């Protein structure tokens, strides 16, 4: 039995030897194959994140295998906005074994629309360390979908944040709300500090600002108005005081944000400030300077009260 096995091995070796000598390298014998698979369907990556996809690679020989493969991972296709780097692009791999290699994914530009999905194609090839000229290994190809999560960022810009006014007057500050994020964003604006004696209103209080389209040279913006009314007294008075108003803009991305939960990417339902929320602030200063003179009704009332006081005083003297 042993002699028979040795004879078969010698015949097989001779066949392979003559096949390698007489045939061109392109027709080398297919000796085994590589298989590879990733652990995600679509992987979502954010603006400030570096994602990582696991790629499991296996080597299955079709015949007897004594020597390991030298495996290479090559990126054959990827979106322009994504940098794809295998953490270990080359490595040895024994027959009937597998190895897991992390594939690093990093966003390299900001001019991307939220929800954009691109394809990453990987080719995994292998070469037998000894005798690779006679025996070839069938390669494997893997496609990975990578999506771009939204990020939220706005600013409140003021062309004239400092202004002067007189008592009992209206003063208007235009405020530009600029969307620097990659998704349509809803912004709610409020005054955060208590301002005694002043009246103030932001109109409109809530706006929607679209996202910048890829290739545009400017970012979308909307204008809201902050109107303040300076205080007045109940009598003739003089005012000379600065007052500051702090405006807060709470921005919320209108696009879905995906998080990894239980091994599956699902849209988040939680309000996470670092993900879909962003707070922006701006401050205006208004100076209320000048005399306040009551209107006709106030003067008339003061006159009536004064006349009544004189009348009561004379009445007391007569008694």
- Strands 277-292, 162-165: parallel, antiparallel or unpaired by DSSP? parallel
* Residue 46 counted as domain residue: yes
Residue where one domain finishes, among candidates 148, 175, 210: 148
* Residue 204 counted as domain residue: yes
SS3 151: coil
pLDDT at residue 260 in the model: 85
Please indicate, yes or no, whether the overall pTM of this predicted structure exceeds 0.75: no
Looking at the structure, tell me whether residues 206 and 280 fall in a common domain.
Answer: yes
CB-based contacts of 13, cutoff 8 Å, min separation 6? none
Cis peptide before 271 (omega within 30 of 0): no
Is the CA virtual torsion 305, 310, 316, 318 positive or negative? negative
Looking at the structure, tell me whether residues 52 and 143 fall in a common domain.
Answer: yes
pLDDT at residue 194 in the model: 80
* Residue 319 counted as domain residue: no
Residue where one domain finishes, among candidates 116, 148, 180: 148
Looking at the structure, tell me whether residues 131 and 113 fall in a common domain.
Answer: yes
* Residue 23 counted as domain residue: no
* Residue 114 counted as domain residue: yes
Looking at the structure, tell me whether residues 135 and 235 fall in a common domain.
Answer: no
* Residue 121 counted as domain residue: yes
Number of domains in the chain: 2
Residue where one domain finishes, among candidates 125, 148, 171: 148
Domain at 45, CATH number: 2.60.40.10
Looking at the structure, tell me whether residues 292 and 165 fall in a common domain.
Answer: yes
Is the CA virtual torsion 288, 290, 294, 296 positive or negative? negative
List, edge to edge, every strand of the sheet that includes 277-292: 162-165, 277-292, 237-253, 185-191, 206-209
Report, as ranges of residue numbers, the positions in the chain whose pLDDT lies below 70.
1-27, 131-133, 233-240, 269-275, 291-307, 309, 311-319
Q: Do 13 and 74 form a contact (C-beta atoms < 8 A)? A: no
Looking at the structure, tell me whether residues 161 and 142 fall in a common domain.
Answer: no
Looking at the structure, tell me whether residues 144 and 221 fall in a common domain.
Answer: no
DSSP string over 76-88: EE--TTEEEEESS
pLDDT at residue 249 in the model: 96
SS3 12: helix
Looking at the structure, tell me whether residues 117 and 40 fall in a common domain.
Answer: yes
Looking at the structure, tell me whether residues 299 and 166 fall in a common domain.
Answer: yes
Residue 7 sits at φ, ψ, to 5 deg, of -65, -40
* Residue 11 counted as domain residue: no
Range of the domain at 296: 154-306
Burial 30-56 (b: 16+ CB within 10 A, else e): ebbbbebebebeebbbbbeeebebebe
* Residue 311 counted as domain residue: no
Residue 25 sits at φ, ψ, to 5 deg, of -65, -25
Cα separation, 223 vs 197, in Å, equals 26
Looking at the structure, tell me whether residues 104 and 164 fall in a common domain.
Answer: no
Looking at the structure, tell me whether residues 141 and 167 fall in a common domain.
Answer: no
Q: How far is CA 243 from CA 8, 131, 198, 230, in A?
A: 99, 84, 9, 9
Looking at the structure, tell me whether residues 139 and 39 fall in a common domain.
Answer: yes
């Amino acid at each position: 039995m042993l002699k028979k096995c040795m004879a078969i091995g010698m015949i097989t070796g001779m066949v392979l030897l003559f096949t390698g000598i007489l045939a061109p390298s392109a027709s080398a014998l297919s000796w085994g194959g590589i298989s590879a698979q990733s652990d995600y369907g679509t992987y979502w990556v954010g603006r400030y994140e570096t994602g990582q996809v696991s790629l499991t690679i296996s080597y299955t020989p079709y015949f007897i295998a004594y020597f390991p493969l030298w495996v290479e991972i090559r990126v054959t296709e990827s979106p322009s906005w994504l940098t794809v780097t295998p953490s270990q692009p080359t490595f040895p791999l024994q027959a009937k074994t597998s190895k897991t290699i992390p594939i690093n994914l990093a966003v390299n530009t900001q001019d991307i629309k939220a929800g954009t999905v691109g394809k990453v194609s990987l080719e995994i090839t292998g070469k037998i360390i000894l005798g690779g000229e006679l025996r070839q290994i069938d390669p494997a190809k893997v496609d990975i979908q990578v999506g771009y999560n939204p990020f939220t960022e706005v600013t409140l810009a003021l062309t004239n944040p400092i202004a002067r006014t007189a008592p009992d007057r209206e003063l208007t500050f235009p405020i530009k709300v600029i969307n620097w994020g990659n998704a349509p964003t809803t912004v709610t604006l409020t005054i955060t500090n208590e301002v005694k004696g002043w009246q103030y209103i932001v109109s409109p209080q809530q706006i929607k600002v679209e996202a910048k389209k890829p290739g545009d040279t400017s970012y979308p913006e909307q204008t809201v108005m902050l109107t303040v009314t300076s205080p007045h007294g109940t009598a003739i008075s003089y005012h000379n005081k600065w007052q500051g108003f702090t405006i807060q803009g709470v921005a919320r991305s209108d696009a879905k944000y995906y998080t990894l939960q239980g091994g599956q990417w699902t849209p988040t339902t939680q309000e996470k400030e670092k993900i879909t929320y962003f707070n922006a602030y701006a401050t205006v200063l208004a100076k209320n300077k000048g005399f306040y003179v009551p209107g006709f009704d106030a003067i008339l009332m003061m006159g009536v009260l004064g006349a009544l006081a004189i009348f009561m005083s004379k009445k007391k003297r007569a008694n």
